Amino acid sequence: MAAFAPSASTSSWTPSSWRTRPVAQDVAYPDAAALEAVTQRLAVLPGLVTPNEVDRLRKQLADVAQGKAFLLQSGDCAELFSDCEPRKIDAKLKLSLLMSLVLIWGARLPVVRVGRIAGQYAKPRSKATEMVKTAEGEQEVLTFRGDNVNAFAADPAARQPDPQRLLLAYFHSSTTLNHIRGALGSGIADLHAPHSWSLAHVRSPALQREFSSVVDSLGDALHFMKVVGADRADGVRGSLESVDYFTSHEGLMLEYEEALTRRAAGVPGASYQTSESPSSSEGASSGAHYTLSAHTIWLGDRTRQLDGAHVEYFRGLANPIGIKVGPSMKPAELVELLALLDPKAEVGRCTLICRFGAGKAPSLLPPLIRAVRASAHADSVIWCCDPMHGNTRTSPLDASIKTRAFGDIVTEVVESLAVHAQEGSRLGGVHLELTGEVDARGESVTECVGGSMELSAEDLSRRYMTHCDPRLNYEQSLDIAFLLSHSLRA
């Protein structure tokens, strides 16, 4: 490892300058030449998204930072290549659209939809190895690091990192995104029949009444808009039939991100430069570097070291970025991190995705809000709540099953809303792990306990389908949307 540059903010940035810094959660590839061949291939393939689309998200996130829109970032903890099926992608897309409708109704604000999708493969892990049962008995194997690194199957050979998986990740992301673009272009967003949403799972009569009244009002409002033609008032995009949907993933695999980094060309007819293009200084974002692996990527709580490789890579990107903020983040550290990642304090560039755990926001969040308010970033950041990652528990019935209690998730969201209100700040969005996927009989997954279906620990074994963290199911996700919608309106 080369020596550190004295200060990241003053040293020059290149898409590969992260290589001079320590890489947390590094993957040790046994064959460096094979990795190099893969990254060379990725470097000449088309970007998965375009700088123009990324700029559109930047503008929408600037609205979120200014309180003019609300951010809904949601999807799987870890996608698998086998998730790249139309039925599964549609289920995720539809759930995000339904939730955003409920939120728009409640918050009376546009919702910026960002999926953890089309590239959310890599996972940080707390342990490098684990013990598994194999035909030869109990064996120590490398942990599963995501489908773009190794295979889930619990055998030593399958768990070896294979760089070809990065290429497979690119092609699965591309196919997923192609399906999303096609579905949105063919009217999947025209879901405006709230009366057909089943609330049969809601056990409590009081909650049933409350949710039905939201659905009734939403249905009436949409019907009225259709009658007066207001749903088409602003032309093609942004109308109720067609919506923007952006992609995101954790920016963990820096070799992959570097290989998909492109310089915006700012010349007509070419949205970015390949290594053969002449350089140009024309255009709004020309010269800026974008990762074209997704519209936005986030920095994980385990890879946000100030002098680390991930911070170095992220600071040079023109993409808007997320920063996970866990309980160990100190106020001064957050201010320093923002200064490194966003020296110009661009409005909406950084989304602070706070994930403390139920009961912790009242003590941990106020000092962070105050420190940011006293910094150059007072008006530029988005405060977002991830009520999932601080609330992972093991099932009381089986210590090998991870779960989350719906009550803890709601508590963290409610606490976060209350703290922002108290501090004169604003919660700009939520970051959720969820899935609209159902099994062959049309039944939702059972990974988190509670919610209006009142799932118990006994229910978890019925349809536990995640390969990583437990996700809210279809009904629990709508429960959250209704609850948020209610709170944001209050």
Residues at the site binding Mn ion, with contacts judged by CB under 5 A: 77, 469
Query: Which is nearer to ligand PEP, 263 or 355 (by Cβ)?
Result: 355
Task: Choose which of 255, 301, 408, 475 interacts with ligand PEP (CB under 6 A).
Answer: 301
Q: Any binding-site annotation on 68? A: no
**Which span (167-175, 203-211, 296-304, 307-315) binds ligand PEP, by CB under 6 A?**
296-304
| Residue 124 interacts with, from Mn ion, ligand PEP, none (CB under 5-8 Å by kind) | ligand PEP
Query: Which is nearer to ligand PEP, 194 or 326 (by Cβ)?
Result: 326
DSSP β-bridge partners for residue 385? 354, 430
Structure tokens given for 205 = 């009569």
Indicate the SS3 state at residue 9: coil
Residues in contact with 359: Cβ distance below 8 Å, sequence separation at least 6, in sequence order: 411, 415
Q: Any binding-site annotation on 257? A: no
Q: Any binding-site annotation on 469? A: yes
The interface with ligand PEP within residues 181-220 (CB under 6 A) comprises none
Residues in contact with 34: Cβ distance below 8 Å, sequence separation at least 6, in sequence order: 163, 164
Task: Choose which of 324, 349, 360, 402 interacts with ligand PEP (CB under 6 A).
Answer: 324
Largest pairwise CA distance in the chain: 69
Indicate the SS3 state at residue 269: coil
Cα–Cα distances (Å) from 369 to 297, 324, 365, 439, in that order, read 23, 15, 6, 42
DSSP summary character for residue 455? B
Q: Is 289 in the site for ligand PEP (CB under 6 A)?
A: no
Q: Is 447 in the site for ligand PEP (CB under 6 A)?
A: no
The interface with ligand PEP within residues 248-287 (CB under 6 A) comprises 250
**CB 275, min distance to ligand PEP, A:** 33
Q: Is 77 in the site for ligand PEP (CB under 6 A)?
A: yes
**CB 300, min distance to ligand PEP, A:** 3
Task: Choose which of 300, 308, 429, 470 interacts with ligand PEP (CB under 6 A).
Answer: 300
Q: How far apart are CA 371 and CA 369, in angstroms?
A: 6
Name the amino acid, one letter, at 437: E
Q: Any binding-site annotation on 84? A: no
The beta strand positions in 37-80, using DSSP E, are: 70-75
Q: Any binding-site annotation on 433? A: yes
Q: Is 389 in the site for ligand PEP (CB under 6 A)?
A: yes
**CB 101, min distance to ligand PEP, A:** 25
Cα–Cα distances (Å) from 318 to 44, 288, 443, in that order, read 20, 6, 41
Cα–Cα distances (Å) from 148 to 144, 168, 258, 382, in that order, read 10, 7, 15, 30
Cα–Cα distances (Å) from 247 to 114, 310, 347, in that order, read 5, 19, 20
Binding mask 97-126 for ligand PEP (x = CB under 6 A): ---------------------------x--
DSSP β-bridge partners for residue 367? none
Binding mask 2-41 for ligand PEP (x = CB under 6 A): ----------------------------------------
Judged by the rule CB under 6 A, the positions of this chain that interact with ligand PEP are 77, 124, 250, 300-302, 324, 326, 355, 389
